[in-house]
C-alpha cells in the first residue's frame, strides 16, 4: 500500500547548507531551517526533503558519508532532527532525508577497516578486486595504491566514494560476490538499520541517491529491484506510513522495485529534458531537441514528454507515482537564460496540476536564478549555480546569515533586482503568491491529487496545452501557453467553465479561451455528458 498522504503531498527540497544559517558561520543548519518552517508552511508545501545532513568530510557536499547515524556538526545534532520532525509535524508537515545507500566516504571507519590486508568483518562490505593494478572492469572504476590490501576498490562516483558491496548479478571474476553472499547481506541489514534509526527520530521517509546502482553488472536491474523489494517488505511490515523515493530516473522499474515515488529527470527515461531544457545555449543539462516545450519560441512538442510519461504510468499501474521536480541540486533552476517570472508561472502551473508528485526546489517559488561562472565548492562543479543561498529578504545577507556575505558557503546572487521572499509575500501579484495559490489547489482539490486521472485534450502537439484532471462530471481544466505569442482555444462541446480557480493572462468568453503569451489558467468545469 502507498501511504494516502502522498496523494496530496507537495515536496519542498532544501539544500541545507544554503537555506538558513542560525549561528552566523555562513553555512545553513538545522536550527536555521526550524526557524523558517513557518515560511514554508505559509507557501503550503507539506513535505520537506533535505539533501544529506550526515557526518562527512564534505568532498561531495555530504554525498560522501562518514557516519550515517550522526548529523554533521555544521548542521547541528541528532536531537535537532528530532526537534525538526516534531516542529514540522506540529505544522502538518512531514520530513524526508536523503540516503546515500551505495557508497560511503573513504574516511568511513568501515572502509578503513576494509582496506586492511588482514581479514575482518568489513573485508567484504566494500567492492574490492584481487588485482591492485586494475583501473576498470566493465562498468566499474577501481582505485589502487591507497592501502596495503592486495587489490583495488571500486568507486561509484568520485575517487573518495568507495562502493559498498551489494553483490554482482552477473559474476565474471572470482572476486565478484553474489548478492546473497555474507558481505552483501550484511549491507542489506545495514540499510534497514539506518532507515529504522532515523524513523525512530520521527523521519517520515527517504529519497535514495542513485538507487539503481547498488548491485553491479545487473543490466536489467533484476537483482537490485529484488533488493529494494525486500527493503519495502520490511518497511510495510514495520513502518507502513513511511515512504521511499528513488533517484532512479525510470519510474516503471523503480516502482516495480518497491519504491513509492521515482523521478522523471534529466537521465533515465526520456521526456523531462524536452519539457524544460533546450538543445543549445547555456545550460548544464541539454535536451535532444532544439527547443523545449516550455520555451517562448513556441516550437516545442509536448509529446516527447507525454509519450514517455504514458509508458511509465501504464507500467506503474497504480502501485506508485511519478515525481516531477521544478529543479534540484544536480541541474539548473528553471530561471535560466532569458526566462522570467511569467515563464516560471506557467511551468509551476504544469508541475502543480499534472498527474505526479510535485517537488519544489528551494527558491524556485520566487524565481531564484541559476548563477553562471561560480567557483566550485565541495565537488559541485557545473552544479554550483543551483546551490546558492536562499534569498529571504533584501538585506546585504539576504536574511540567510548574519555573517559577512564574503564568508558565505556560496555567494549570493549579485543582481540588484534579485528576488526575495519578503518582497514577494508583500506583493499579491508575485510568483510566490501564484505558487502558493497553486499549492493550495493541489492540496485541496480531489481532481488534482497525484493519482487522479489526466486527459490531454488533443494530441499534445502545438500550443496551448490543455488537459482535464479528475473524473465524472466535475473536473478541473488546465490551459497552458508557454509560448510568447497569443493563442486561442475552443472548449470542447459539452463542457462549460463553472469557476476560475487561478489564471494569469487567460480570458474566457463562452466556449472560447484567449491565452496571452505566456499564460496559464486552472478552471472548474462541468460536463453535460
**Each residue of 176-190: pLDDT tens digit?**
999 999 999 999 999
User: How many percent of the chain have pLDDT more than 70?
Assistant: 99
In the block, cell 586494475 appears at 134
Domain of 378 in residue numbering reads as: 1-100+357-451
Of 368, 329, 347, 385, nearest in space to 14 by CA? 329
- Report the DSSP pairing between strands 357-361 and 321-325: parallel
Q: How far is CA 237 from CA 130, 185, 232, in A?
A: 39, 19, 8
Per-residue pLDDT, averaged over 285-313, amounts to 94
In a domain, 127, yes or no: no
Give the bridge partners for 100, in sequence order.
Answer: 209
The Cα–Cα gap between 173 and 112 comes to 24
> Which of residues 417, 433, 451 is at a domain's end?
451
**Each residue of 472-524: pLDDT tens digit?**
888 999 999 999 999 999 999 989 999 999 999 999 999 999 999 999 999 99
**Domain check: are 92 and 5 in the same one?**
yes
Running DSSP on this structure, what letter comes out for residue 116?
Answer: S
**Domain check: are 434 and 471 in the same one?**
no
In a domain, 229, yes or no: no
pLDDT the model gives residue 529: 65
In a domain, 397, yes or no: yes
**Each residue of 212-227: pLDDT tens digit?**
999 999 999 999 999 9
Domain count, the chain: 2
**Domain check: are 464 and 382 in the same one?**
no
**Each residue of 65-108: pLDDT tens digit?**
999 999 999 999 999 999 999 999 999 999 999 999 999 999 99
State pTM to two decimals.
0.97
pLDDT the model gives residue 279: 83
**Domain check: are 488 and 425 in the same one?**
no
Q: Is the pLDDT of residue 283 over 70?
A: no
pLDDT the model gives residue 334: 96
> Which of residues 405, 431, 451 is at a domain's end?
451
Residue 344 has phi, psi (to 5 degrees) of -65, -30
Of 275, 303, 300, 304, nearest in space to 290 by CA? 300
439-455 as b/e: b if 16+ CB within 10 A: bbbbbebebbbbbbebe
**Domain check: are 463 and 445 in the same one?**
no
**Each residue of 411-424: pLDDT tens digit?**
999 999 999 999 99
Supply 442's cell numbers.
493541489
pLDDT the model gives residue 343: 98
Supply 404's cell numbers.
559577512
Q: Is the pLDDT of residue 288 over 90?
A: no
In a domain, 94, yes or no: yes
> Which of residues 451, 471, 496 is at a domain's end?
451
Q: How confident is the model at residue 285 (pLDDT cuts 50, 70, 90)?
A: confident
**Domain check: are 404 and 462 in the same one?**
no
**Domain check: are 1 and 16 in the same one?**
yes
**Domain check: are 439 and 470 in the same one?**
no
The Cα–Cα gap between 525 and 132 comes to 67
pLDDT the model gives residue 473: 83
Q: Are 451 and 393 in contact (CB under 8 A)?
A: no
pLDDT the model gives residue 67: 98
In a domain, 328, yes or no: no
- Mean pLDDT score across all residues of the chain: 96
pLDDT the model gives residue 365: 99
**Domain check: are 378 and 408 in the same one?**
yes
In a domain, 134, yes or no: no
**Domain check: are 440 and 477 in the same one?**
no
Give the dihedral sign, CA 241/246/249/251.
negative
CATH number at residue 78: 3.20.20.80
The Cα–Cα gap between 209 and 201 comes to 21
CATH number at residue 496: 2.60.40.1180
**Domain check: are 426 and 459 in the same one?**
no
Supply 300's cell numbers.
516545442
User: How many percent of the chain have pLDDT more than 90?
Assistant: 95
Q: Is the pLDDT of residue 333 over 80?
A: yes
Q: How far is CA 165 from CA 20, 177, 253, 477, in A?
A: 36, 8, 21, 49
Order of strands, sheet of 153-155, starting from the edge strand that comes earlier in the sequence: 136-137, 140-143, 153-155
In a domain, 47, yes or no: yes
Supply 219's cell numbers.
543490466
**Domain check: are 372 and 413 in the same one?**
yes
Amino acid at each position: 500500500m502507498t501511504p494516502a498522504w502522498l496523494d496530496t503531498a507537495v515536496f519542498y527540497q532544501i539544500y541545507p547548507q544554503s537555506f538558513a544559517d542560525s549561528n552566523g558561520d555562513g553555512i545553513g543548519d538545522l536550527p536555521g531551517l526550524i526557524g523558517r518552517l513557518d515560511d514554508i508552511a505559509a507557501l503550503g508545501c507539506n513535505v520537506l526533503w533535505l539533501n544529506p545532513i550526515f557526518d562527512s568530510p564534505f568532498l561531495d557536499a555530504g554525498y560522501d558519508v562518514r557516519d550515517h547515524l550522526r548529523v554533521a556538526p555544521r548542521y547541528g545534532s541528532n536531537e535537532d532532527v528530532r526537534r525538526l520532525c516534531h516542529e514540522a509535524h506540529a505544522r502538518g508537515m512531514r520530513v524526508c532525508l536523503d540516503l546515500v545507500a551505495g557508497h560511503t566516504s573513504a574516511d568511513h571507519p568501515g572502509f578503513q577497516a576494509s582496506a586492511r590486508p588482514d581479514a575482518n568483518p568489513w573485508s567484504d562490505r566494500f567492492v574490492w578486486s584481487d588485482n591492485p593494478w586494475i583501473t576498470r572492469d566493465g562498468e566499474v572504476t577501481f582505485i589502487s595504491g591507497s592501502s596495503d590490501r592486495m587489490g583495488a576498490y571500486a568507486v561509484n562516483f568520485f575517487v573518495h566514494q568507495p562502493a559498498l558491496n551489494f553483490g554482482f548479478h552477473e559474476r565474471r571474476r572470482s572476486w565478484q560476490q553474489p548478492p546473497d553472499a555474507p558481505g552483501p547481506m550484511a549491507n542489506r541489514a545495514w540499510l534497514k538499520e539506518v532507515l529504522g534509526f532515523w524513523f525512530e527520530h520521527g523521519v517520515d521517509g527517504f529519497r535514495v541517491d542513485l538507487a539503481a546502482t547498488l548491485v553491479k553488472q545487473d543490466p536489467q536491474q533484476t537483482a537490485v529491484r529484488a533488493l529494494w523489494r525486500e527493503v519495502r517488505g520490511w518497511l510495510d511490515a514495520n513502518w507502513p506510513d513511511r515512504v521511499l523515493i528513488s533517484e532512479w530516473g525510470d519510474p516503471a522499474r523503480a516502482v516495480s522495485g518497491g519504491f513509492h515515488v521515482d523521478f522523471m529527470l534529466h537521465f533515465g527515461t526520456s521526456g523531462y529534458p524536452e519539457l524544460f531544457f533546450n538543445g543549445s545555449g547555456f545550460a548544464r543539462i541539454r535536451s535532444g531537441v532544439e527547443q523545449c516545450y516550455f520555451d517562448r519560441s513556441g516550437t516545442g512538442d509536448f509529446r516527447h514528454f507525454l509519450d514517455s510519461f504514458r509508458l511509465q504510468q501504464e507500467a506503474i499501474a497504480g502501485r506508485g507515482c511519478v515525481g516531477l521536480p521544478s529543479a534540484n541540486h544536480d541541474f539548473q533552476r528553471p530561471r535560466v537564460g532569458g526566462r522570467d517570472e511569467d515563464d516560471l508561472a506557467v511551468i509551476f502551473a504544469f508541475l502543480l496540476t499534472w498527474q505526479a508528485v510535485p517537488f519544489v526546489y528551494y527558491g524556485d517559488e520566487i524565481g531564484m536564478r541559476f548563477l553562471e561562472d561560480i567557483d566550485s565548492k565541495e565537488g559541485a562543479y557545473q552544479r554550483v549555480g543551483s546551490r546558492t543561498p536562499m534569498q529571504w529578504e533584501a538585506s546585504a545577507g539576504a536574511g540567510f546569515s548574519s555573517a559577512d556575505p564574503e564568508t558565505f558557503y556560496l555567494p549570493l546572487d549579485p543582481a540588484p533586482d534579485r528576488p526575495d521572499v519578503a518582497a514577494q509575500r508583500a506583493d499579491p501579484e508575485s510568483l510566490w503568491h501564484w505558487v502558493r495559490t497553486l499549492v493550495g489547489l493541489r492540496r485541496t482539490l480531489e481532481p488534482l491529487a497525484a493519482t487522479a486521472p489526466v486527459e490531454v485534450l488533443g494530441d499534445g502537439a502545438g500550443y496551448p496545452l490543455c488537459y482535464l484532471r479528475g473524473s465524472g462530471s466535475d473536473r478541473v481544466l488546465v490551459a497552458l501557453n508557454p509560448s510568447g505569442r497569443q493563442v486561442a482555444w475552443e472548449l470542447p462541446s459539452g463542457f462549460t467553465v463553472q469557476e476560475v480557480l487561478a489564471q494569469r493572462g487567460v480570458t474566457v468568453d463562452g466556449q472560447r479561451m484567449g491565452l496571452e503569451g505566456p499564460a496559464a489558467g486552472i478552471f472548474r468545469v462541468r460536463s453535460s455528458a
